[in-house]
Amino acid sequence: MLVVAARLVLGGILAGASVAKLASPGSSRAAMATFGFAGRRGQTTAWALVIVAELALAAGVIGGSSAAAWLAAALMALFAATMISAILRGRSGAPCACFGARSTVGWRGVARNALLAFAFTSLPFLPEEEVSTDQWLGLGLAVALLACLTLGVAVLALAREVGILRLRVGPAGALEIPEEGPPLGSRTAVVGAVEAPPGVELALAVFVSKGCRVCAALEPSIAVLARDPKLAVRTFEEHADAAAWRELGIPGSPFAVALDLDGTVLAKGTFNNLAQLESVLAAAQHRRGERRIAETFVA
């Protein structure tokens, strides 16, 4: 019972380490630079070899192979020596991706690898015992729980990677194509249809269609912008306001055109969410500021 449990635990540690690397491939692959692997190809090769070795040894250890246990001990000793070398080169605290993206080089990692090397070395010397049916069932349950835990960790790691990626990418701006809609800098009388009370600095014409699901979903977002005291907002429906659509050459809905109060087109674009609609306003405010600076110099 003891030797079987030890095989499952130690083999599970090896498998878990490889799963953690697979769950965050970008960061764990880049961590290979800590150990002197330069270039993307070299880092990818080292990363793949480590994963293959860990999975193969995990299978051998769980299957009861003494050779796999000795090789796993040698691998852990190699990891410990490599980490000591990195520490001596001043790389302490650098990512190592031993157990995922958060693992770093340090003496704690050296101690962990040394302890695992000793455990794998001891594995072949544990006494073999007959395992009863109930014990096999208990071990099977333990393995299933360990697999669920490993899967949960992998899912959380993937969610973290996706979150980091979204933060890096950020929301995309509205699609501003020069050939679509009114030319930037041109003037239109459509601004007269947008009621602009005192204090308003920009007018926003939003073009929607009755059968457009995206337009319907964006109605609350448009209403939020309409509460801005410095912004005048009006929606133009495709059939009810067909003349405005034709005059500005609107390609489809939803589409936004930001105007100066004199009718000058400052920004435009197709949008699918509030962030993209706000990007149209941000571009308009920037260009409006440039216009004011240019007018000041001309004056």
| 195-238 pLDDT, tens digit each | 888 889 999 999 999 989 999 999 998 998 899 999 999 999 99
Instruction: Find tokens 């790389």 and name the residue.
Output: 91
State CA 192 to chain mean position distance. Answer: 44
Residue with tokens 């500005």: 248
Between 2-6, 180-184, 229-233, the lowest mean confidence (pLDDT) is in: 2-6
Burial 68-93 (b: 16+ CB within 10 A, else e): bbbbbbebbbebbebbbebbeeebee
CATH superfamily of 189-298: Glutaredoxin (3.40.30.10)
- Residue 126: its pLDDT value, please? 76
Band of pLDDT at residue 153, cut at 50, 70 and 90? low
Copy the structure tokens of residue 1. 């019972």
Q: Which residue type occupies 277?
A: L
The model carries a pTM of 0.47
User: What is residue 296's three-state secondary structure?
Assistant: helix
Angle among Cα 33, 38, 43 to the nearest 5 degrees reads: 65
Q: How far is CA 284 from CA 180, 252, 264, in A?
A: 17, 20, 10
Q: Determine how many CB atoms are found less than 10 A away from the CB of residue 50.
A: 19
**Alpha carbon distance 101, 95 (integer Å):** 7
Domain coordinates of the chain in residue numbers? 2-169, 189-298
Whether residue 288 has pLDDT greater than 80: yes
Is the confidence at residue 169, as pLDDT, over 60? no
Report the side by side order of strands in the sheet with 202-208: 231-237, 202-208, 255-260, 265-270
Neighbours of 30 (CB within 10 A): 18
Tens of pLDDT, residues 228-271: 999 999 999 999 999 999 999 999 999 999 999 999 999 999 99
| Range from 115-119, 152-156, 233-237 that averages highest in pLDDT | 233-237
CA angle 183, 184, 188 (to 5 degrees): 70
> Structure tokens of 19?
């799963």
2 pLDDT band (50/70/90 cuts)? low
pLDDT digits (tens, 9 = 90+) for 17-59: 888 888 777 778 888 888 888 778 888 888 889 889 998 998 8
Q: Is the pLDDT of residue 172 over 60?
A: no
